[in-house]
Amino acid sequence: MQISDLERIARQIRIRDLQAVYEAKAGHIGGEMSAIDIMTALYFKVLKIWPDEPKHPDRDRFVLSKGHTACALYVTLAKRGFLPEEEISTFLKPLSRLNGHPNCNKVPGVETNTGPLGHGLPVAVGMAKAAKLTGASYHTYVMTGDGEMQEGSNWEAISSAAQFQLDNLTLIIDHNRFQQGAALSDTNNLAPFRSKLEAFGWDVTEIDGNSMAEVVPALERRSSNGRPHGIVAHTNKGQGISFMQDKVDWHHKVPNEEQYKIAMAELTEAL
């Protein structure tokens, strides 16, 4: 699949995500838009997966630690064939399995339940360590938010991953510079992340996380020296929608009818 194909799919996923959040009147659209290029590259180019066998033992694992952006994951999984695309219209409705945070017991393709921040990376370290212990060939990817990196559990996991020489683990930090309620620079700003990860013994790649041409090779890179791979993905909150981009309010704000029409026009213009 070519870069242009992946860019087109990412645009389609953004459109469906926008529609789902608007119809549900809830969601976390800003952080979903920043992460969609990475999820598109993973599911349509990089991950070794079988949608008809979501628990295939040889599959690569992807953990969405920033679980509040579940809608983007659901849309991506549906487009990749893990669940019916029409099911997206049930997002957050009573009895729907598409909850506000992903549930591995209900949704095929979800590797572990996430929501409380700071949990996904430690779980992913366990998955990668299990592969080392059993000789399995799968690779584990995990995406965190940058605000989420304030959780101490993440740094314990980073230290452990280096100690265990987990070169079968890739951490992607969605570095959109905003968290709920504030910019990172106004809270507990741990950036720059590269030097900190390198100090723990990680290999690090720094990219534009909304440029598919940079995202794909970074995700495909494999460490072979016993060092885990960290990707610092510089992204934009609300990527692709002019009035949402880099605005803290859009962490979980829902567009009204006029805003929805503007956003939809902007996203469909390039299709």
- pLDDT class for 115, splitting at 50, 70, 90? confident
Dihedral over Cα of 184, 74, 141, 231: its sign: negative
Tell me: the pLDDT tens digits for 221-264?
988 789 999 999 999 999 999 999 999 999 999 999 999 999 99
Residues 215 and 206: their CA atoms lie apart, in Å, by: 10
Q: For residue 56, what is the domain's CATH number?
A: 3.40.50.970
Closest CA to 196 of 143, 236, 146, 235: 146
Tell me: the pLDDT tens digits for 129-186?
999 999 999 999 999 999 999 999 999 999 999 999 999 999 999 999 999 899 999 9
**Bridge partners of 174?**
145, 233
Q: Please, are residues 168 and 126 in contact by the beta-carbon 8 Å criterion?
A: no
pLDDT at residue number 194:
98
pTM, full prediction? 0.97
Give the count of domains, the chain: 1
Residues 32 and 235: their CA atoms lie apart, in Å, by: 11
Closest CA to 177 of 195, 193, 155, 157: 193
Q: Please, are residues 207 and 214 in contact by the beta-carbon 8 Å criterion?
A: yes
Q: Which domain holds residue 47?
A: 3-269
Tell me: the pLDDT tens digits for 200-219?
999 999 999 999 999 999 99
Residues 148 and 191: their CA atoms lie apart, in Å, by: 12
Mean pLDDT of 51-69: 98
The upper half-sphere exposure of residue 225, i.e. CA atoms within 13 Å in the direction of its Cβ, equals 7
Share of the chain above pLDDT 70, in %: 100
As given in the structure block, the two tokens for residue 245 are: 């981009």
Residues 190 and 203: their CA atoms lie apart, in Å, by: 18
Residues 74 and 87: their CA atoms lie apart, in Å, by: 9
Tell me: the pLDDT tens digits for 66-95?
999 999 999 999 999 999 999 999 999 999
Residues 40 and 17: their CA atoms lie apart, in Å, by: 13
- Cα 191 to chain centroid distance, Å, stands at 19
- Cα 5 to chain centroid distance, Å, stands at 19
Q: Please, are residues 10 and 45 in contact by the beta-carbon 8 Å criterion?
A: no
